[in-house]
Amino acid sequence: MPKFDYSLNYAELDLRAQPHLYRVGVGEQGVLLVQPYKSELLPHWRFATPDLARESSEKLYTMFEAYLKDGDFVGADMARKFLQMGFTRSRRYANHKGGKKYDGPVPADKKGQSGAHGRAELPRSPEDPVKAESARIFKQKWEQAEANPVYAAMKREHKARYG
């Protein structure tokens, strides 16, 4: 699978106007880079409590469906990534008090990429049930997005056309 292209200047790009430049990548790659979607989705992304997670995940899923209706695969994929990130960040806070999973800073050449990059994982805290519930809520919406047949078809078409 082609990797997300971190070499592009996302601050200057409008990927709604240039969807051919977008690569799905793996997981949440690019979730906080791709414009104009980051600006549209980020204000609605909250996971501190189950009530906020429910409201957030429902809004993000509604946006996901609107992007699909508009034939905007990049927008739909970015909304899906925000749902996935709601799950992963909630789980991180459920497992690690304060949300810090790894020891030490991310090396400068690895910023924006996923993974530990040679850093040691900190010991897990006792599970935070509030964040665990937020994670469950986001996971359900993320899985719903992944299972959407229109999304799946658009994803296959985008990958076949652009890589």
- Average pLDDT over every residue of 120-138: 85
Nearest by Cα to 50 from 162, 128, 109, 120 = 128
At 69, is the pLDDT very low, low, confident or very high (cuts 50, 70, 90)?
A: very high
- More confident call, 81 vs 104: 81
- Average pLDDT over every residue of 74-95: 95
Q: Is the pLDDT of residue 9 over 60?
A: yes
Q: Is the pLDDT of residue 109 over 80?
A: no
Q: Is the pLDDT of residue 98 over 70?
A: no
Q: Is the pLDDT of residue 53 over 70?
A: yes
Name the least confident of 21-30, 78-87, 121-130, 133-142.
Answer: 121-130
DSSP secondary structure letters along 25-70:
-STTTTTTT-TTHHHHHGGG---SSHHHHHHHHHHHHHHHHHHHHT
For residue 89, the model assigns a pLDDT of: 93
